[in-house]
Amino acid sequence: MFKAIELDGITRQRTGREFQFDVDTRQAAVAALLSRLEVPPEAATIDPSRTLVLVGDTRWSIVNVTRTVLEEPSSLRRGGAKHKQVR
């Protein structure tokens, strides 16, 4: 799973616009981003490491998102020793 984060072209700060793609490879995430933006691949400049995509004056950073599986309820994870009652 990958996430595309829009960055300001000048300050390189996040703009708040993000897309999440359920794909296996970074190259597939880049293709999905260009499809979502309705931009042809030849109109974008793609970094060889596939982590940065330049579309016009905007930058998109492609990052890998790990899936976390929580097996225990939050009450057990967050409770400290002094709050637990032993019977």
Cα–Cα distance, 41 to 56 (Å, whole number)? 12
0.85 exceeded by the pTM? no
Domain ranges of the chain: 2-68
The answer to whether residues 21 and 28 touch, using CB atoms and an 8 Å cutoff, is yes
pLDDT tens, 1-52? 999 999 988 888 898 899 999 999 888 999 999 999 999 988 888 887 768 8
Tell me the CA distances in angstroms from 28 to 18, 63, 64, one per residue in order: 16, 12, 12
Cβ atoms of 73 and 20 within 8 Å: the answer is no
